[in-house]
Amino acid sequence: MPEGDTVWQTARRLDDALAGPPLTGCDLRVPRLATVDLTGRRVLEVVARGKHLLTRVEGGLTLHSHLRMDGAWLVYGHGERWRGGPHHQIRAVLATAERTAVGYRLPVLELLRTADEDRAVGHLGPDLLGPDWDPDEALGRLLADPSRPVGEALLDQRNLAGIGNVYTCELCFVLRVPPWLPIGRVPSPERLVDLAKRLLEANRTRRARVTTAQARPDRRLWVYGRAGRPCLRCGTPVRAADQGRAGQERTTFWCPVCQPEPPDPGPSQ
């Protein structure tokens, strides 16, 4: 599933494929953009902002897209067969003389003035892989609601941008905290911010995400996707449960032995 590292890689591929030469084709298959034609304009750059993609086009325009759970941008060479899914799932096509980028199952696709990008991404916290990264600001946002479960706080893109459910589960495991622990009770919470940055940086150029430093496909992640299988650290079966507000639940994975809830410190004196 797309997380900050995946979106960063997608932006790099799109930038390599589209930036520079004029567009020779443009087909935006959502009703409000049906009459838009960017043919003849040049793509200036494609950048990631958290999990958002911003394709900046000359003339002061930005095509904003978001992959959410199963969207994808795929790049094909001239004459290459498109293989990203059935044609009815295509939402956008941008082509140059040499390459074609096809957006499949994009739940968010809109055209903005580049000067108005904050309408789409201005609410986001510091980007773990972006030039605006500020660990102190990210930590302050995380701790603004100390009673919020750490798993929910990490997933909130208004706190820090780029973390999805995979990294949330892995961060909590590595730091030995249960995902339901209030963020205000996490020991040394700055470690969450530091480790999140290091994990995304380490994986942004990898084809397969790794958090364990092990190369075997079934051992690349500590707990995510391992429900019922032995914990790679202690052997206890990994558990899974839904977490989050109604309608926004995510399946959370954790080890009940490696991630025990610390004792309640009781009322402050």
pLDDT digits (tens, 9 = 90+) for 49-91: 999 999 999 999 999 999 998 999 999 998 899 999 999 999 9
Report phi then psi at 196, rounded to 5.
Answer: -60, -45
Average pLDDT over residues 201-221: 91
217: pLDDT confidence band, cut at 50, 70 and 90? confident
121: pLDDT confidence band, cut at 50, 70 and 90? very high
Q: How many other β-carbons are positioned within 10 Å of the β-carbon of residue 205?
A: 10
117 catalytically annotated = no
Q: Which of 22, 42, 51, 209 is catalytic?
A: 51
1: pLDDT confidence band, cut at 50, 70 and 90? low
| Confidence at residue 216, expressed as pLDDT on a 0 to 100 scale | 87
| Confidence at residue 264, expressed as pLDDT on a 0 to 100 scale | 65
Q: Which of 99, 209, 220, 250 is catalytic?
A: 250
Domain boundaries of the chain, sorted by first residue: 4-122, 135-254
Model's pTM, two decimal places? 0.92
CA gap 249, 41 in Å, rounded:
41
269: pLDDT confidence band, cut at 50, 70 and 90? very low
- Token pair for residue 11? 């932006």
Average pLDDT over residues 193-216: 92
Query: How does DSSP assign 51-100, residue by residue?
Result: TEEEEEETTTEEEEEE-TTT-EEEEEETTPPP-SS-GGGEEEEEE-SSEE
Is residue 243 over pLDDT 60? yes
170 catalytically annotated = no
- Token pair for residue 203? 């994986």
DSSP-derived 3-state class of residue 190: helix
Q: Which of 3, 91, 141, 179 is catalytic?
A: 3
Q: Which long-range contacts (CB under 8 A, 24 or more apart) does 242-246 make?
A: 243/149, 243/151, 243/152, 243/179, 243/180, 244/151, 244/152, 244/155, 245/152
250 catalytically annotated = yes
Q: Which of 2, 126, 178, 179 is catalytic?
A: 2
The CATH code for residues 135-254 is 1.10.8.50
2 catalytically annotated = yes
Q: Which of 52-66, 116-130, 159-173, 232-246 has the lowest mean pLDDT?
A: 232-246
Domain covering 4-122, topology: N-terminal domain of MutM-like DNA repair proteins (3.20.190)
